[in-house]
Amino acid sequence: MTSSSTGTGPGLGPDLSDETTANGSTPLLGESAGGRVPPLSPARRELIERAHNLYSAAIGACLSRRESSPDLLERATSLLEEEARLPFLTTEELARAAAELPDLIAALRAEPVRAPAGATPADLRRALSEDDLDTLFGVALRDRLTGIPREHPRLLLFGGQPGSGKSTLQRSILPALPEGTVSYDGDDLLRLSPDYEWAMSADDRTASTSVSHQVGALHGRAMEHVRTGRFDVVCSHPLGRADWASAWVSGFKEAGYRVEVAFVATHASNSRFAILDRHARATRDQGFGRWLPELHHDRFYLGVPNTIEFLETHHLVDSLHVLSREGDALYSNHRENGTWRTEPFGRIALEAERGRRELWRSEDTP
């Protein structure tokens, strides 16, 4: 198929569903009908988000207390397995989980977690040992990141400024992908910290950074496991700097992966609002929420167009897409025998979509 790489609105972009590459594999986004992310109703999107928040609270409660109650490690494992299935559940199953989890969280939190002596949300006063990291990886990541090995493995990496909707699209597309595809979102590492509950409860704006740093070494273990296993994988990252994007894609290319990056295009007003709204919803569900300072959002927002241009100009990926917040493919380009099928202008496509939606619209959020 020879498709246009342009699109000016939802439904007018390229259809990737019958694209194939030189080795006969389909771009991972092309596995989904119409080459787009399947749409979610606002009600279902909110149910998935609420259930995810509640599972994170319950998982964090178990792992924060595992030293005093070792049996909670097994409970956390069970909760993590259930949470990984959220994108595949029916609306009724999601509603049931959202209704039942608050009682479990209350029971787990009945015994308060004590902070280490002298610790503050800014200074947790402990680093995770190699044994700690191995245990957490085994409990939370090994099984969920183990899929079906592929001769020609594929990475679909969602990029875009914080609040652009990457995680929502990542969850939405999973049921449309082949069995054995795994999903990794680094934001979910925070709940694995033994200090997650007390530090985030005390000051989530400060602890969002310190807890992230504490569990950051798990990222490398996750990437090594996926690449070694040669599993198809969906990931997300802001990709607000070209060097970060280069590190992401080069690691997978060196492991023999076909790499495609899908950037979510939405105006800064939408993503700034989404960060505030996400924090409010998480606080409702967990008592606290992950936070990102506006300065970081703005830096990533300004950096994403440069990243797109860098990836295309230097031929670092096999496919590059620009998606609307709703998951429509507005622009797609593919490399064949080292050459882009059409003249690259992903940056222009992203900036055009950003400019088209200058004001937040109520239908953009649940």
Tell me, what's the pLDDT at 1? 33
Whether residue 324 is contained in a domain is answered as: yes
pTM to 2 decimals? 0.90
Q: Number of structural domains, the chain?
A: 1
Q: E strands along 160-305, which residues?
A: 182-185, 233-236, 258-265
Answer yes or no: is 188 within a domain. Answer: yes
> For the segment 198-210, what is each residue's pLDDT rounded down to a tens digit?
999 999 999 999 9
Task: For residue 202, give its domain range.
Answer: 28-113+121-364
Pair 226, 248: CB distance under 8 Å: no
CA 308 to chain CA mean position, Å: 18
- pLDDT, one tens digit per residue, over 153-189 is 999 999 999 999 999 999 999 999 999 999 999 999 9
Residue 175 domain-assigned? yes
Residue 270's contacts (CB-CB under 8 Å, 6 or more residues apart) are 163, 164, 325, 357, 360, 361, 364
Contact 30, 18 (CB under 8 A): yes
Q: What is the pLDDT of residues 63-111, one digit of tens each?
A: 999 999 999 999 999 999 999 999 999 999 999 999 999 999 999 999 9
In a domain, 5, yes or no: no
DSSP element (H, E) containing 330: strand 329-336
206 occurs within a structural domain: yes
In order of 100, 159, 250, the CA distances from 236 in angstroms are 29, 6, 15
The enclosing domain of 239 has a CATH number of: 3.40.50.300
